[in-house]
Chains A and B, each alone.
Chain A
Amino acid sequence: MTSIEEYGKYETAWCPGCGNFGILNSLKHALVACELQPHQVLLVSGIGQAAKTPHYLKANVFNGLHGRSLPVAIGAKLANPELTVIVESGDGCMYGEGGNHFLAALRRNLNLTILAHDNRVYGLTKGQASPTSEQGFVTKAQPHGAFAPPFNPVAVAVTMGASFVARGYAGLPEHLADLIAQAIRHRGTSLVDILQPCVSFNKVNTYQWYKEHCYELGEDHDPADHDQALRIALEFGERIPLGVISKKEKPLFEEQFAVLKNGPLARQEVSREGLRQVMQSYL
């Protein structure tokens, strides 16, 4: 049995009232619920306030470059498929700078979990529009309001046939912890887009705003029903659905590599007989 204490307590660099506190807390509860110990877990992040999360709990950590958390995570998972790999970054990092990696990762379907802290604004660089900012969202960098409509990560993921797509909310910690635990347990790439207020830079999508717009999906929603999932995924405005939106079994990317059935690559010796055969082929 693992306890929440094993995941430790750290000072953070976040603003008081930041949605990240709730997400961190839910993540710890999810890891305990999945009976994972810190050394079994690898948290990979990019850059941003969300990407600092791995520094605030005990686990293996690779805090990489802005936008590049997914390729690092994929490399690590392919080197050691026994690691539980969780990718954690914000909307700018995951959907902006890392957009191409996000699409490619969903296509591949490795067994890993993506937690996208989606506060719909850039925090660390102090308040510019992000890919998920509302159209017309006014910032110092977008004084006339963001021109382009927001990216809908959930709809994109469902359209691409991602194997697990969910939306959570930082203000509903128990619901979120359950979503994260389901995502970790799911065999395949799981996306949890986590709506998160930014008390410093997003004065539109506040705790109150989310309370008024979000609702939890009920038992009548079947995540295995693709058409229904797509309809729910496209619902983002007056009402925002929370919960597991789409879920399907798909072949795991890593299973195409026979060598990975033998565990981590680091434990596998170089075959001298193999090398001899390879050399013979050039005679």
Chain B
Amino acid sequence: MSLDIHLLIGGEAGQGLVTIGQLLSKALVRAGYEVFVSQSYHSRIRGGHNTFAIRLGAGPFFAPRVSIDILVALNAETVALHRGQLTGRALLVADVSFAPDLPGVIAVPFAELGPEQLWNTAALALLGNILGLPSEALYQAVEGMLGKKHPEALAENREIMEKSREWAATHVPEHGFALTGGVSAADRLLLNGNQAIALGALAGGLKFCAFYPMTPATSIVLELITHAEVMGCVIEQAEDEIAAINMAIGAAFAGAVSMVATSGGGFALMAEGVSLAAMTETPVLIVVAQRPGPATGMPTRTEQADLEFVLHAGHGEFPRAIFAPGSIEACFDLTQKALALAEQSQSPIFLLTDQFLADSSRPIAPFDLAAITPVKAGVEPDAVAIPYQRYRFTDSGLSPRLLPGMSRQLVVADSDEHDEEGHISEDHGVRIGMVEKRLRKCELLKQEAVAPALSGEKGADLLFVCWGSSLGPVQEAAAVLRGQGRKVASLHFSQVWPLVLDQFLDILQGAGRIVCVEGNATGQFARLIQRETGFAIPERIARYDGLPFTARYILERLAAVEERP
């Protein structure tokens, strides 16, 4: 069994548990270990029960785990809620005032170590001691967070860290969690899904983003804002999501590579704008980070239930593409691809993620910046036929897109049905021509479609079908089953529209038992496949309690599926 430790820090919002978790993750990655970080939090600023989970060791890890090896309880509620998940060898770190009398408990007299606002730093140092991380590595992480501008705060933190280590040296019992030798010496980036999307957008040539804050999409834009000055981007907080998408469309029309990011409720307000982008043939990337609905739903939890909504949002008929990354790397790559495809196809293009992927971090290799090709908006004025017509009929359906004000040619775009020049038209012949012209662009989207990835052999006895963020947990479950000697494969769709049958239908037809794993109650993707191919996937593993898939969840439900005749 390779090194696989699951550490969970639990407490109320405001107790600094995210700080401990982030600093520890960073120190672990720098020391060469693999981590998979996930967060669970309530929709409130103070209080509630929040957790920060780090799965660490030799990895790599692509999913969270349920059972806990080291539990850091910043309050008594954490002990009560999670003691049932503790493994037989687990350690439980808790303040002496509420530490239970259990084997493996480390009852820490935090009050003796320092003031309450620094207890999280004390817990961090204690964890460093347990895991055998050098104290300098953690101190550097704290310094990196506080900066050198606050020498007094830094000194206070250093003092409590040293006291905590001294206390740990004589009070931590024997355990099996000391790390030995890192597994990776190379520099790695520690990124969550939203950070990878922001970086992918910047690498893809993003120049403009408008947004209205909505969990779990907000942190994408906050990340963009952090880098906006260096990268020369304009980011604007709009008065509502309707304004946000219309601003992005206006900016894209005038030549800025543009995106918006929101979640289901905000996207509902953007729906008419999606239709506008399609009608005016204006490129725009729309990132929808899903959370459970309907309505406000569970703002800080995860779900994959907006597939049908994103697929059908916007009135009228028009082409679109929907990417659904399953990993941090794919968040980076597919965001670039989506921006490029939006410009190529002059269409609204979607990136569909969820809270689980948004808030999960993993260390990844630095991106090859020499290989990127940022999007360039529009075409050069000398590349168009004169007189210029923005919506000239072409075989591909793509008309050369000039940018207004960049030449003497006039660019006319209209949300009404329009003629080739862009002027409003109620001519039925023009109407037919324009409908067909727009739909011809579907061909380009099909040519550019990312094929689903098969992991394992064709014709396996058991095939998991999944899309988006369920990739990691599904692959871990498949690996466990393969370890038991079973022939298991998984087919992951990182693009869910358009579906190109040649890319996967034979895989479905050649498989034994097929189980679709998706985070919604009604089997939206399985039904989409059936609608498009006629191929029915009767078995499914669904999750809609607001929590992400884990390998254990999938395996437990698989057992139930397989018990059925």
- A259 part of interface (Cβ distance < 8 Å): yes
List B contacts of A52 (CB < 8 A): 424
Say whether A75 contacts B195, CB under 8 Å: no
List B contacts of A266 (CB < 8 A): 207, 254-256, 376-378, 403, 406
- A1 part of interface (Cβ distance < 8 Å): no
Say whether A65 contacts B415, CB under 8 Å: yes
From A100, A260, A264, A271, B240 is in contact (CB under 8 Å) with A100
**Closest chain A residue to B418, Cβ basis:** A63
Shortest distance between the CB of B498 and any CB in chain A (Å): 26
Say whether B203 contacts A271, CB under 8 Å: no
List A contacts of B246 (CB < 8 A): 64-65, 68, 71-72, 75
Most B C-beta atoms less than 10 A away, residue of A101, A260, A276: A101
- A55 part of interface (Cβ distance < 8 Å): yes
Say whether B238 contacts A83, CB under 8 Å: no
- B172 part of interface (Cβ distance < 8 Å): no
Alpha-carbon distance between A73 and B416 when the two chains are bound, in angstroms: 17
**Closest chain A residue to B230, Cβ basis:** A274
Shortest distance between the CB of B196 and any CB in chain A (Å): 9
**Closest chain A residue to B189, Cβ basis:** A282
Stretch of A19-27, A34-42, A125-133 at the chain-chain interface: A34-42
Say whether A78 contacts B413, CB under 8 Å: no
Alpha-carbon distance between A39 and B243 when the two chains are bound, in angstroms: 26
List A contacts of B378 (CB < 8 A): 266
List A contacts of B249 (CB < 8 A): 64, 72, 75
Say whether A61 contacts B405, CB under 8 Å: no
Say whether A59 contacts B410, CB under 8 Å: yes
Alpha-carbon distance between A79 and B208 when the two chains are bound, in angstroms: 7
Say whether B413 contacts A62, CB under 8 Å: yes
Say whether A75 contacts B208, CB under 8 Å: yes
Say whether A74 contacts B247, CB under 8 Å: yes
> Chain A 249-277 against B: per-residue CB contact (8 Å), 1 yes, 0 no?
00000000111101011101111101111
Say whether B405 contacts A83, CB under 8 Å: yes
Residue tally, chain A, CB below 8 Å to B: 57
Most B C-beta atoms less than 10 A away, residue of A40, A80, A103: A80
- B227 part of interface (Cβ distance < 8 Å): yes
Stretch of B301-309, B366-374, B453-461 at the chain-chain interface: B366-374
Say whether A279 contacts B367, CB under 8 Å: yes
- A44 part of interface (Cβ distance < 8 Å): yes
> Chain B 239-251 against A: per-residue CB contact (8 Å), 1 yes, 0 no?
1101110111111
Say whether A268 contacts B232, CB under 8 Å: yes
Say whether B195 contacts A282, CB under 8 Å: yes
Known: A79-B256, A268-B232. A65 touches B189 (CB 8 A): no
Say whether B202 contacts A42, CB under 8 Å: no
Alpha-carbon distance between A276 and B231 when the two chains are bound, in angstroms: 10
- A47 part of interface (Cβ distance < 8 Å): yes
**Residues of B bordering A, CB below 8 Å:** 187-191, 195, 199, 202-203, 205, 207-208, 210, 227, 229-234, 236, 238-240, 242-244, 246-256, 258, 272-273, 276, 280, 366-367, 369, 372, 374, 376-378, 403-416, 422-424
User: 14 A-B pairs, CB-CB below 8 angstroms?
Assistant: A38-B410, A39-B408, A60-B410, A62-B413, A71-B244, A75-B250, A79-B251, A104-B238, A266-B256, A266-B376, A274-B232, A275-B203, A275-B369, A278-B202
